[in-house]
A and B are shown apart, each in its own frame.
Chain A
Amino acid sequence: SQQGEEDPQALSIQEGENATMNCSYKTSINNLQWYRQNSGRGLVHLILIRSNEREKHSGRLRVTLDTSKKSSSLLITASRAADTASYFCATDDTGFQKLVFGTGTRLLVSP
């Protein structure tokens, strides 16, 4: 399987703290995306970073990409209880939008 690995598998923090999740993948990619999934629901697209980009910001989200290490990180700053969810990285290595998802990080933000 080409599925990526994410760590930590679970993360528990307090509101206001920052949360960092890491994703490693196995093949060359066209882009890497991060998604959020609330329990029992579909996925929400958060941010996409292309293979020629190193860092991208969107609101409280910061994503980095290191293609030499085949890894990416997602930083959520000043977390809120509403950020509680599972976060998945997904890579597109074919250019045909066939996404390969990482194992996911379950984030719990306590008030």
Chain B
Amino acid sequence: GAVVSQHPSWVICKSGTSVKIECRSLDFQATTMFWYRQFPKQSLMLMATSNEGSKATYEQGVEKDKFLINHASLTLSTLTVTSAHPEDSSFYICSANGGGSGYEQYFGPGTRLTVT
């Protein structure tokens, strides 16, 4: 089946620094990937849609200058949390559509970000 990986699986950084999270589709090409944020014991909230070769589409209320998304290839999307603050601490999950006629999305294992 389609596999999506994320790196790193967890990261701790200091306030004011930037953190990059990678999302890779390992055995398929993904023209579109999605980035979600999840707080403890809560649901997933879509942050943005990452489109290969073009600008990401951000959901209402998500700061595009804060959460930089780059989808440079058909297998890689990156999310950079710039000038991180403790309130950015969260679980970040990416997903990609497996292609073909299916609508199922394949999710990465998530990245736990803690900002101190």
**Residue B46 interfacial (CB < 8 Å):** yes
Contact with B along A69-100 (1 / 0, CB 8 A): 00000000000000000001000100011111
Q: How far is the CA of A43 from the CA of B42 in the complex (A)?
A: 13
Interface residues of B in 29-59 (CB under 8 A from A): 32, 34, 41-46, 49
From A12-20, A59-67, A101-109, give the one contacting chain B. Answer: A101-109
Q: How far is the CA of A92 from the CA of B34 in the complex (A)?
A: 13
**Cβ of B44 and Cβ of A101 under 8 Å apart?**
yes
Q: How far is the CA of A104 from the CA of B42 in the complex (A)?
A: 8
**Cβ of A41 and Cβ of B106 under 8 Å apart?**
no
Q: How many A-B residue pairs have CB under 8 A?
A: 58
**Cβ of A48 and Cβ of B103 under 8 Å apart?**
yes
**Cβ of A45 and Cβ of B110 under 8 Å apart?**
no
**Cβ of B43 and Cβ of A101 under 8 Å apart?**
yes
**Residue A111 interfacial (CB < 8 Å):** no
A91 to chain B, nearest CB (A): 11
A34 to chain B, nearest CB (A): 11
Known: A98-B46, A98-B49, A99-B46. A42 touches B104 (CB 8 A): no
Interface band, chain B: 20 to 34
**Cβ of A43 and Cβ of B93 under 8 Å apart?**
yes
Task: For the complex, count residues of A whose C-beta is within 8 A of B.
Answer: 24
Of B43, B104, B108, the most chain A CB neighbours within 10 A belong to B43
**Cβ of A92 and Cβ of B49 under 8 Å apart?**
no
Instruction: Kindly list chain B residues whose C-beta atoms are within 8 Å of the C-beta of A42.
Output: 4, 6, 93, 107-110
Q: How far is the CA of A39 from the CA of B45 in the complex (A)?
A: 17
**Cβ of A104 and Cβ of B43 under 8 Å apart?**
yes
Instruction: Kindly list chain B residues whose C-beta atoms are within 8 Å of the C-beta of A98.
Output: 34, 46, 49
**Cβ of B103 and Cβ of A97 under 8 Å apart?**
yes
Known: A88-B44, A98-B46. A45 touches B32 (CB 8 A): no
Instruction: Kindly list chain B residues whose C-beta atoms are within 8 Å of the C-beta of A40.
Output: 91, 110, 112
**Residue B97 interfacial (CB < 8 Å):** yes
